[in-house]
Chain A
Amino acid sequence: MHFLHKKPLAKSSQKREVNNRKVMLIGFPNVGKSLLFQHLTGRHAVVSNYPGTTVDFTRGQGRLGGQIVEIIDTPGIYSLHGSSRDKVITLELLEKEKPGLVLFVAEAAVLPRVMNLFEEIRCRSFSLILVLNMIDEAEQKGIRFHLPSLEKELGVPVVATSATRRTGLENLKKKMAKLLSSPEPAGKKKGQKSAGSRGVPAGWLSGALPVRTESRQEKLHLLLINPWIGYPLAFFILFFFFYFIMGILGAGTAVRLLEEKFFGEIFLPFCDYLAFKYISVDFFRELILGQFGLISMGLRYSLAIVLPLVTMYFLFFALLEDCGYLPRLAYLLHRPLRHLGLDGRGAIPLVLGFGCGTMGVLVTRLLETGRERFLATFLLSLGIPCSAQIGLIVGVLAPYPKVLFLWGFSWGCIFFLAGMFLNRILPGRKKYACIEFPPLRLPQCAAVLRKTAARAIWYIKEILPFFIVISLAFQLMYLGNYLQLLEQFLAPFLQHLGLPAQVAEVFLFGFLRRDYAAAGLYDLVRRGVLEPASLPVCALVLTLFFPCIAQLVITFRERGFKESLVILILIAFISYGAGYLLNGFISAVNF
């Protein structure tokens, strides 16, 4: 019986050595820790309106009464004991960092819910401040707090704040500075006095019987989760967005304006002029401005084609996130996703994956078990094209509605069949899902814009180097005639799919970067190399094929070598098989 030999827990009465320069934010998911962190440090952390936005801890520095302190933001937890990743991260951090002060952040309107976790942390005798965040929402609901008596009851300082409206922050900073400068944890003595009444005060949680209120929020919530309205609405929102905004406005207008007008007519000729003037060696000039050159391809594709699409997607997603629509979407998608071995929460990485698969893979951390994370990562790699790719594919296929439909239909089928199959054969079982609806809130313009900008900058920082390196590698391969060799090698495979050999180029791009591939497809169609009849096969295989290098790297990092390899092998078989079948179908019915 191994648990008998476990080390005894650290005694709570023992004096701890604490680091008075460190402050840690702890609390439930979705109570506004990250926003508070932002205000305290001035550093940006991504903030949304659904539980589990912060999947790793973030550090920042803040100034408190002339002193610089390190502030640590942690992922939200429901309890300190348990084996889920977030809990382990938070507990390890608490033990390792020994913060001089813990800010326990709670949503004011639902304070009784957090008391268990609050007690668990207070038992560890850190000096503690209880931050009642979102006090404005509580006041709107008619809940008022008498802070001095609450302080007396709990034995710790209590501060009411509203991080979105920036109220109460000065008061919080003052109390933080005071507690950090006093050597003895202030809450300790009082905390021991009330030790007899540990746990939730009796009757707090049972509260009043919930009644159906007729507030606008409640009505909207009921409408959104009503399947008769919710499903068409979700379909309409996504369709409207992908077809009109991404396909027509994004891939059509914005890309054409940036790519053809700005890059094609102004920027590239200017670079050409400079290159001819200053670079005398042909080889280097080719490297920069050749067919796959650094500027002519690397910069053009990343900045003129991909960036506008991704930014638009991030803007849209930020709006959805902040208004609290995503958990309602999770509710609607809960049942279908369970067939794929996920639950409603799986909708969030999958929908985010439509923006950038790399980000989607990172967000799979909010799922609870390794099995779910594996399944979600697999689905992201196989069947979720990123916004740039989807925008361009829809843009290319938009003139042929029949092709577009065929592509969408077969893609959906393969996605679900593959997911269900893998769910069946994969061992292990999942925990029962129990997911919260956060309140619906009106998104704040500034917050949405800031988040979009932060993500766009992340994208440029993370992705631009890849683009540059890849275009360099391609140009070198092209100059050394290796590209033709690879194309020749791939040509027979492509013939089985009924595709011309030039498509090999696109597929190679696809391996390197998915959106590159779609941009290559765009090019091929414009040049008339691809016929409309072979378009669906090409688009389908591109959609299903390997993820881009950035996503691959993250997948290997998150899921380990073995699992990632399994994912890749599965994808290779599935995408090729699907293309083969679709080609057979098309030639059989004479499309």
Chain B
Amino acid sequence: MESCKKSKSSEKALPLSRLRAGQRGVVVSVKPGREIDFDKLRAFGLIPGAPFLIERTFPALALRLPYASLFLDDELAAVILVNPTESPNRLRKGRRTKKKFVRSFLYAKLKQYLCHK
């Protein structure tokens, strides 16, 4: 319902989770999914076209919308596509890349350790 078809504006849209604290933007769409309570998002005003400001990204993503201030799960932030209004200098790494990086680092260490043994 909330996910609109790809328009010009959604081409450069990013997941909300990639933005940094202090950045502003406009919501473009929300990917549909069973885990998402759209009624609630609508009630908070988190709908396409809504401007927002990111207050914090850790320990969870805290957002300010025109009529609400709220916080989201990272997974939910990953399926909300937004258009940042200010061009970001550096984006946050995606959750998966971060995890992959940590994991590969640990495996390398472990391998090193085991080989020495």
Q: A331-B60, A334-B59, A343-B73 are in contact. Are A110 and B40 (CB under 8 A)?
A: no
Q: Which of A110, A209, A344 has the most CB of B within 10 A?
A: A209
- Give per-residue flags for B29-56: 1 if the beta carbon is below 8 A from chain A beta carbons, else 0: 0000001110111111111011111011
Task: Please indicate the chain A residues that have their CB under 8 angstroms from the CB of B58 in the complex.
Answer: 227
At the interface, yes or no: B72 with Cβ under 8 Å from chain A?
yes
At the interface, yes or no: A267 with Cβ under 8 Å from chain B?
no
Question: A29 CB to closest chain B CB, in angstroms?
Answer: 9
Interface of chain A, helix or strand or loop or mixed? loop
Task: Please indicate the chain A residues that have their CB under 8 angstroms from the CB of B68 in the complex.
Answer: 110, 113, 436
* A contact residues, total (Cβ < 8 Å): 42
Interface of chain B, helix or strand or loop or mixed? mixed
Pick out which of these stretches binds chain B: A8-16, A275-283, A426-434, A445-453. A426-434
At the interface, yes or no: A206 with Cβ under 8 Å from chain B?
yes
Q: A433-B73, A437-B71 are in contact. Are A79 and B60 (CB under 8 A)?
A: no
Task: Please indicate the chain B residues that have their CB under 8 angstroms from the CB of A335 in the complex.
Answer: 59-60
Task: Please indicate the chain A residues that have their CB under 8 angstroms from the CB of B66 in the complex.
Answer: 205-210
Task: Please indicate the chain A residues that have their CB under 8 angstroms from the CB of B43 in the complex.
Answer: 28, 78-79, 113-114, 116-117
A434 and B51 contacting across the interface, CB-CB below 8 Å: no
Q: A210-B53, A227-B59, A331-B60 are in contact. Are A433 and B72 (CB under 8 A)?
A: yes
* B contact residues, total (Cβ < 8 Å): 37
Task: Please indicate the chain B residues that have their CB under 8 angstroms from the CB of A28 in the complex.
Answer: 43
Question: B3 CB to closest chain A CB, in angstroms?
Answer: 15
Question: In A474-491, which residues have CB < 8 Å from any B CB?
Answer: none
At the interface, yes or no: A376 with Cβ under 8 Å from chain B?
no
Question: In B53-80, which residues have CB < 8 Å from any A CB?
Answer: 53, 55-56, 58-60, 62, 64-73, 75-76
At the interface, yes or no: B24 with Cβ under 8 Å from chain A?
yes
A113 and B62 contacting across the interface, CB-CB below 8 Å: no
Q: Which residue of B lies closest to A78 (CB)?
A: B43
Task: Please indicate the chain A residues that have their CB under 8 angstroms from the CB of B85 in the complex.
Answer: 209
Pick out which of these stretches binds chain B: A218-226, A407-415, A497-505. A218-226
A434 and B46 contacting across the interface, CB-CB below 8 Å: yes
A431 and B35 contacting across the interface, CB-CB below 8 Å: yes
- Select one of B24, B60, B64 contacting A344, CB under 8 A: B60
The answer for the CA separation of A343 and B72 in the assembled complex, in Å, is: 10
B73 and A432 contacting across the interface, CB-CB below 8 Å: yes
Task: Please indicate the chain B residues that have their CB under 8 angstroms from the CB of A430 in the complex.
Answer: 35
Q: Which residue of B lies closest to A438 (CB)?
A: B69
- Select one of B46, B70, B73 contacting A437, CB under 8 A: B70
A225 and B55 contacting across the interface, CB-CB below 8 Å: yes
At the interface, yes or no: A370 with Cβ under 8 Å from chain B?
no
A431 and B36 contacting across the interface, CB-CB below 8 Å: yes
B69 and A437 contacting across the interface, CB-CB below 8 Å: yes
B71 and A435 contacting across the interface, CB-CB below 8 Å: yes
The answer for the CA separation of A565 and B70 in the assembled complex, in Å, is: 37
- Give per-residue flags for A525-540: 1 if the beta carbon is below 8 A from chain B beta carbons, else 0: 0000000000000000
The answer for the CA separation of A321 and B29 in the assembled complex, in Å, is: 34
The answer for the CA separation of A344 and B76 in the assembled complex, in Å, is: 14
Q: Which residue of A lies closest to B46 (CB)?
A: A434
Q: Which residue of B lies closest to A203 (CB)?
A: B49
B52 and A210 contacting across the interface, CB-CB below 8 Å: yes
At the interface, yes or no: A60 with Cβ under 8 Å from chain B?
no
Task: Please indicate the chain A residues that have their CB under 8 angstroms from the CB of B47 in the complex.
Answer: 205
- Select one of A222, A332, A434 contacting B37, CB under 8 A: A434
At the interface, yes or no: A252 with Cβ under 8 Å from chain B?
no
Task: Please indicate the chain B residues that have their CB under 8 angstroms from the CB of A227 in the complex.
Answer: 58-59
Q: Which residue of A lies closest to B76 (CB)?
A: A432
Number of A-B contacts (CB under 8 A): 120
A225 and B44 contacting across the interface, CB-CB below 8 Å: no
At the interface, yes or no: A211 with Cβ under 8 Å from chain B?
yes
Q: A78-B39, A113-B43, A227-B59 are in contact. Are A210 and B73 (CB under 8 A)?
A: no
The answer for the CA separation of A332 and B59 in the assembled complex, in Å, is: 6
Task: Please indicate the chain A residues that have their CB under 8 angstroms from the CB of B53 in the complex.
Answer: 209-212
At the interface, yes or no: A168 with Cβ under 8 Å from chain B?
no
Q: Which residue of A lies closest to B41 (CB)?
A: A434
Task: Please indicate the chain B residues that have their CB under 8 angstroms from the CB of A210 in the complex.
Answer: 24, 51-53, 64-66
Question: A270 CB to closest chain B CB, in angstroms?
Answer: 56
Q: Which residue of B lies closest to A79 (CB)?
A: B39
- Give per-residue flags for A254-284: 1 if the beta carbon is below 8 A from chain B beta carbons, else 0: 0000000000000000000000000000000
B39 and A82 contacting across the interface, CB-CB below 8 Å: yes
Task: Please indicate the chain B residues that have their CB under 8 angstroms from the CB of A185 in the complex.
Answer: none
B45 and A225 contacting across the interface, CB-CB below 8 Å: no
B69 and A78 contacting across the interface, CB-CB below 8 Å: no
The answer for the CA separation of A212 and B63 in the assembled complex, in Å, is: 11
The answer for the CA separation of A429 and B56 in the assembled complex, in Å, is: 26
At the interface, yes or no: A443 with Cβ under 8 Å from chain B?
no
- Select one of B55, B56, B64, B76 contacting A434, CB under 8 A: B76
Q: A113-B43, A116-B42, A211-B53 are in contact. Are A434 and B35 (CB under 8 A)?
A: no
The answer for the CA separation of A310 and B115 in the assembled complex, in Å, is: 59
The answer for the CA separation of A334 and B71 in the assembled complex, in Å, is: 10
Question: B113 CB to closest chain A CB, in angstroms?
Answer: 26
Q: Which of B35, B59, B69, B70 has the most CB of A within 10 A?
A: B59
Task: Please indicate the chain B residues that have their CB under 8 angstroms from the CB of A78 in the complex.
Answer: 37, 39-40, 42-43
- Give per-residue flags for A71-98: 1 if the beta carbon is below 8 A from chain B beta carbons, else 0: 0000000110110000000000000000
Q: A78-B39, A211-B53 are in contact. Are A205 and B45 (CB under 8 A)?
A: yes
Q: A110-B67, A209-B51 are in contact. Are A334 and B60 (CB under 8 A)?
A: yes
Question: In B76-98, which residues have CB < 8 Å from any A CB?
Answer: 76, 85
The answer for the CA separation of A304 and B22 in the assembled complex, in Å, is: 53
The answer for the CA separation of A331 and B60 in the assembled complex, in Å, is: 7
Q: A432-B72, A437-B70 are in contact. Are A226 and B59 (CB under 8 A)?
A: no
Q: Which residues of A contact B (CB under 8 A)?
A: 28, 78-79, 81-82, 109-110, 112-114, 116-117, 205-212, 221-222, 225-227, 331-332, 334-335, 338, 343-344, 368, 429-437
Contacts A113-B68, A434-B72, A434-B76 known; 13 new A-B pairs at CB < 8 A: A78-B42, A116-B43, A209-B66, A212-B53, A338-B73, A430-B35, A432-B35, A432-B36, A433-B72, A434-B37, A435-B71, A436-B44, A437-B62
Q: Which residues of B contact A (CB under 8 A)?
A: 24, 35-37, 39-47, 49-53, 55-56, 58-60, 62, 64-73, 75-76, 85
Which 9 A-B pairs give the minimum distances between C-beta atoms?
Answer: A207-B66, A79-B39, A432-B76, A78-B43, A110-B67, A209-B51, A437-B69, A210-B64, A432-B73
